Structure 1
Amino acid sequence: MEQWTKYWRKTTALNSFAEGQSALGYYGELELLWQAQLKHLANNASLLDIGTGNGGLAVLCYQYGRILNYQWSIHAIDAADINPILNKYEDQTINAAISQIKFQGNTPAEALPYANDSFDLVCSQFAIEYTNIELALPECIRVLKHNGKFVAIMHHQDSSIVADSYIGLRVLDLFMVESNVFVNIKMLLELAAVLILQGTNIKSSEKFNQLNRALFQQFKQLQGHFCDEATAKWCQRFIASIVPLLYELTPQSPALLEDYLRQLVLYRLRLMDQIKATLTTNHQHEIEKLLSKYQVKYSLENVVIDRKIFGTLLEVNKFN
């Protein structure tokens, strides 16, 4: 869980693996999908967002409730050690929402700290599939009120998000596991640190220049491994993040490299978590078998956003 705790503590993005507009919440077709799940709730409804991260889905729920002029009670939990209230945004509506949501970190979905029949809606996006579903799903049903609803969007095996994660992991493994590029970078930075402390002009060192040229060639070779555009972008992304270490040489550069490598290890773990959590056909069958044991009505269907498979939507209605 360290990889997620450090991710949420370091980023102000409301959603994981989000960039641009997506980092500040849901919009477009995805926003409309969630609003459709919320519009039938009563004025005094109670909601629980599972795997909230920095509060993306919980914020959407709060903001839509305000549009309806409703006063929903919104709880949001995560197994990671989150604290979204520390984040500040230029959009004051996000700050207002976060201040009204009851966040709780270090709270696994497998053991929800709520009484039976507590919530009208339990929701989750890209979170419940990361849990031990055999424990978490019964917990979600337990805390639902009678006629309550559990709604989750989960990673689909054919989604572009999952495909991109596979590519990212492949490129990251090439850099970190299959090549010695970081060993060579470390040698270069350690030599540069010694030269700087000695007061020697770095560019006058033939050994430094040789290492620098060899590293440049190695980067070109790594880039040559990938021909398709998506993979090349991942490769370029990693190289672009390394280059500043090589151009801004200081005695602290080796320590900065070690910190960067620790971040990459955690990033790799998050990619692996996401891939492992992907909902396959077998996983869907397991969920259906589990739900058949309870007095619920459920459905599973693909979510298509911008004409592409985005995820799998699970809806569970609890009977009286």
Structure 2
Amino acid sequence: MSLDKTRLRHWLESGVLPPEHLDTAFGIAGIEPTPAQWRRFLERFLLFNAGALLLASVAFFFAANWDALGRFARFGLIELGLALSLAAAWLRFDRPAGKMALTAAGVLTGVLLAYFGQTYQTGADTWQLFATWAGLILPLALLGRAASLWLLLAVLVNVAVPLYYGSGGVLSGWFARGDEPVWLLFLLNNAGLALWEWKTRQVDWLPGRSGPRLLALAGGAAVSLQTLEKVLNPDMGLLPVLTVYLAWAGAILAVYRYRLHDLFMLAGMVFSVMVVSTSALGKYLFHGDGLFAFLTMSLWMMVCSAAAVRWLKAVFREVPHE
């Protein structure tokens, strides 16, 4: 299919294929989704929405009847929902409905932990709620092999780490300048990205590209923010951070340009480089004429944007697309 799409695109750009015959060519090549593919897409889409609406209805039910319910009634309803979700996941374990039920069980686990802490005032820090929640759903993610659970786990880790360092944890003194949570998130998200990509290529556990793209977005944002901070404050140790940043950008380019062919990843890397380079340019230009600095930065952004669009379009034409 990807070869047919590339060939048709080439014929269309070269004028061999008239634009008015493009739909017919798509149908002959089998590129347009079949009724079975549309049905599978709609089933998954409606299933996801049904699960999300069911969880939202649980939250609204508790909000509307909070005063009317006793302590044990609240615990019982949450645990009943958790038990029903686990039972549904067990009965439909290898089907999308089972994975959705397992995700609901993961969400309700956090609801149960939050209500337990609120009811009995355990005195635990906020980060402990998210860390415990992540630890409890990790076995579900390993057993269920559901992308939604792995994404929930990644979100919990990204929330727990900054909260832990903000609470003055034991590990807070490991670094001198207080930037350890950002670097830890960078390492964790990129390690998760590498593991996700590797497992996807080994077995069909984690289909789709939303998971790795979100992890790459989180990891890239962390290293980009750290680089921006050091660019704007070079006395805080620019060279080590810039080395890590360039290594990250080179790894993204090597992996997603020449191996996995993901245009989203490349576009994110290019955007990060544009922001960092423009910030560095502005840092060293604003010591003089402000108008000249603004004009130079504007010209730089236009040149970078045009070059990036041209390069990304060239990459898009070269690689196969599903």
User: Fold match, TM over 0.5?
Assistant: no
More helix by share: 2
TM-score of the pair, normalised by structure 1: 0.26
More strand by share: 1
TM-score of the pair, normalised by structure 2: 0.26
